């Protein structure tokens, strides 16, 4: 007489299986993987503490180095932060922009999109390449010559501050609608 095992009680081998002690159900394994155990908390806390100490160390070191500089330093730091002092080559800037816009969800979701909707999703690649050429040959030369850091600054230069605010609000609405 054979009995069928229900799917929620399917067992998987455990570490003690080598000794022949038994199995753990899939539900038990699933529940145990959904919670942190004390080693997980220890690693998490140690990573947080090490990040805090690294930040404090380099913040203190930078503070000591630039102790006597005042507002001129703030302006140059903002420029260095936003555009790298305009000394960076194209490759690191490109990699930074790509990393900013491609998230882990995009990387994981692309295979699902292709599975669900088929290979027509690959046509996006052509649009991305066309957009790259347009950015390189049309928009970036204008931004570089005007020494501006965003499209919103361009809107303010070309039109007025109200148009810059309108563009910013439209972008925020688009981002809110794009988020899941």
The values of phi and psi at residue 144, to 5°, are: -65, -45
Percent of the chain with pLDDT over 90: 21
Give dist(CA 108, CA 95) in Å, integer: 19
- Is the pLDDT at 77 greater than 60? The verdict is yes
pTM strictly above 0.85? no
- The dihedral of CA 97, 101, 104, 108: what is its sign? negative
Phi-psi map region of 3: left, alpha, beta (phi>0 left; psi -120 to 50 alpha): beta
Report whether pLDDT(8) > 70. Answer: no
Write down how long the chain is. Answer: 180
Q: Which H or E element spans position 23?
A: strand 23-25
Confidence check: pLDDT of 170 > 80: yes
pLDDT at 114: 84
pLDDT digits (tens, 9 = 90+) for 110-166: 888 888 888 887 888 788 888 888 888 888 888 878 888 888 999 999 999 999 999
Question: Where is mean pLDDT largest: 2-11, 64-73, 92-101?
Answer: 92-101
């Amino acid at each position: 007489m054979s009995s069928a095992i229900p799917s929620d009680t399917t067992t998987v081998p455990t570490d003690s299986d080598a000794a022949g002690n038994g199995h753990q159900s899939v539900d038990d394994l699933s529940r145990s993987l959904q919670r942190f155990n004390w080693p997980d908390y220890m690693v998490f806390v140690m990573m947080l503490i090490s990040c805090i100490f690294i930040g404090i160390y380099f913040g203190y070191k930078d503070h000591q180095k630039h102790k006597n500089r005042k507002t001129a330093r703030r302006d140059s730091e903002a420029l260095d932060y936003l555009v790298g002092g305009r000394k960076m080559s194209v490759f690191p800037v490109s990699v930074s922009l790509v990393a900013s816009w491609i998230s882990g969800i995009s990387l994981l979701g692309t295979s699902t999109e292709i599975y669900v909707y088929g290979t027509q999703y690959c046509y996006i690649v052509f649009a991305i390449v066309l957009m790259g050429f347009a950015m390189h040959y049309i928009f970036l030369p204008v931004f570089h010559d005007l020494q501006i850091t965003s499209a919103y600054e361009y809107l303010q230069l070309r039109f007025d501050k109200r148009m810059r605010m309108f563009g910013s609000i439209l972008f925020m609405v688009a981002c809110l609608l794009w988020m899941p």
